[in-house]
Amino acid sequence: MDPSGGCPHAANARLLARGAVAPVVLPGEVEAMAVIGHDALKEFLSHPDVAKGATHFTALREGRIPDGWPLKTFATVQGMTTADGDDHRRLRSLVSKAFTSRRVEALRGRVEEVTAELLDGLAAAGRPGQDGQDGPHVVDLRADFALPLPMGVICELLGVDEVFRDQLHHLSNQIVATDISPEDAMAANRDIVAVLSAVAASRTENPGEDLTSALIAAREEDGDRLSGHELIGTLLLMIIAGHETTLNLITNAVRALCRNRDQLELVMHGKASWSDVVEETLRWDSPVSFFPFRYPTRDLTVDGTVIPQGTPVLAGYSAAGRDKAAHGDDADVFDVTRYATGSTTRHLSLGHGAHFCLGSSLARMEATIALERLFTRFPDLDVAVTEAELPRHASFVGNSVQRLPVSLWSIPTP
């Protein structure tokens, strides 16, 4: 795996041509496997002999994974993503109350309000003729729109004060980076734990109508509740997953629509929905490329390939989304009508099985509202540089670009 990240799709195509399961080497020469075919991944994600707990990670258990390994947090953080069985059900039940359909729908008004505020800010920043320039200004849609919407919503949901938000986004980026040095990786983990501990302390002292306060107070029928490490791990998971995925989803959808304006026209004329755009983006350019980790609890054969017990396995969402065996010979084509016509298999980009993304409804709602309001307000919006000029994430976990410069209005023809 290339620790510097980049666009995964060409490499994914080469791997898929060889099979649905691929041996890979992680940073630090750690041997692993990646499940990349759609059907194989669906089977693997829900297999009863596949675990998430790091006690099943043979190399980690034997002391062969050093501190500062860039992917270690994914294995060792204490929370839903590394829990199995009863522990997973306990942790998920404590959090799931905040993500019921009713609770998510109740957030719609706030999402629409934040979206409107951000669009007003974009309009002011991108207005033509400022600073003596004749043409429209270019704005960074990722930094000024796609980021603050989900970050603001998840932080409000968790009761995270605004003073912490920029720092949490910066630290989240470092934690999902795969080209980071051991020293920087350890520092990022220390810093984010310190920030989240401060958040937890603030909510303990001044509880409110937020999820962090509810988690601190929550007790199940037997009197159990989250330990201190589980609380911090849960907050870390929700901060990262609650904004990074949606941030990448919105960014990737805008890029796809601007590069495929015939598809944008279909949506603008009511021949496809904004929900269709979200689902096709999730399939075609998954916000998460390769997600760590799962471990077979015995030697496991998947699509004819043996994955040895205790091997760390990556879930290859970006590869599975373009698997032609599942999505047809035109799987590389961005087509917003796929799901409306039922011509493709349902994607796996939000997971499958017991660990299916808990915030999927919120992410879909945020992205749908954001895209509809954005292109309604700025129908001529276009990416201001070529795709090759967009700097990619320095990670094979997240799949997107670091910046998205756009012009909001077309330049009038003289």
Task: Give the pLDDT confidence score for residue 414 in this predicted structure.
Answer: 43
Task: Give the pLDDT confidence score for residue 223 in this predicted structure.
Answer: 63
Cβ(56)–Cβ(50) under 8 Å? no
- Pairwise CA distance, residues 339 & 275, whole Å: 10
- Cα–Cα distances (Å) from 325 to 38, 261, 322, in that order, read 8, 27, 9
Tokens linked to 235 = 């907050």
In order, the DSSP letters of 259-321 are H-HHHHHHHHTTSS-HHHHHHHHHHHT-SBSEEEEEEESS-EEETTEEE-TT--EEEEHHHHH
- Pairwise CA distance, residues 367 & 245, whole Å: 10
Whole-prediction pTM: 0.93
State pLDDT tens for residues 358-391. 999 999 999 999 999 999 999 999 999 999 999 9
Task: Give the pLDDT confidence score for residue 384 in this predicted structure.
Answer: 95
Task: Give the pLDDT confidence score for residue 224 in this predicted structure.
Answer: 64
In order, the DSSP letters of 329-382 are TTTTS--TTHHHHT-SPPP-TT--GGG--TTHHHHHHHHHHHHHHHHHH-TT-E
Low-confidence ranges of the chain (pLDDT < 50): 132, 413-414
Task: Give the pLDDT confidence score for residue 220 in this predicted structure.
Answer: 53
| Residue 306: CB atoms within 10 Å | 13
Task: Give the pLDDT confidence score for residue 226 in this predicted structure.
Answer: 77
What is the residue whose two structure tokens read 């980690």? 60
Q: Which amino acid is at 71?
A: L
